[in-house]
Amino acid sequence: MCMMKIVLAEDDSDDKFFFVYFLEDRQDIAILNCVENGLEVLEFLNALADDDDLPDMILLDQNMPKMNGLETLKLLKINSRYSHIPVFVYSTYADLNLTDNCLAAGAVRVYQKPTNKDSYNLMIDSLIETINSSK
């Protein structure tokens, strides 16, 4: 089984806790880092000296301070070092407008924020399946 390395950008401490807590038993993912906003995503990635240490996917909360998910996504996709990394956006309010804008900017998918352990696991299953099917 291949372990997927994830960077999570989530500013809400409860949502971050649920993400880590609900998924701690999974053997197919490793959370490399949980950051608070898009600027911290870029700082974390820029600090990685070796491209082999880059994540297999990035999951961005849309509503974050300093730099939201869509703004972060756009910067990731114009940077040749990071543009190949699949980026997913999730939000409490994942409406059609947000979905269209994120997909147009290069997101692989946009998700409604999960609300329980089962829905977190279903989202991660979907992320992994999407990445594996594109290889």
Read off the CATH number of the domain in which 45 is found.
3.40.50.2300
The verdict on residue 61 lying in a domain is yes
Supply the pLDDT for residue 121. 87
State which of 22-31, 62-71, 86-95 shows the largest mean pLDDT: 62-71
Query: Cβ distance 124 to 102 under 8 Å?
Result: no
Task: Tell me the average pLDDT of the chain.
Answer: 91
The verdict on residue 135 lying in a domain is no
Supply the pLDDT for residue 26. 85
Nearest to 5 by CA among 32, 37, 42: 32
- Expressed as residue numbers, the domain containing 52 is 4-130
Grade residue 91 by pLDDT with cuts at 50, 70 and 90.
Answer: very high
What value does the mean pLDDT take over residues 79-86?
96
The verdict on residue 87 lying in a domain is yes
> Per the structure, how many domains does the chain have?
1
pLDDT over 80 at 2, yes or no: no
Supply the pLDDT for residue 87. 97
The conformation of residue 80, written as its DSSP 8-state character, comes to T
Grade residue 89 by pLDDT with cuts at 50, 70 and 90.
Answer: very high
- Rounded Cα gap, residues 10 and 132, in angstroms: 24
Supply the pLDDT for residue 1. 54
Supply the pLDDT for residue 90. 93
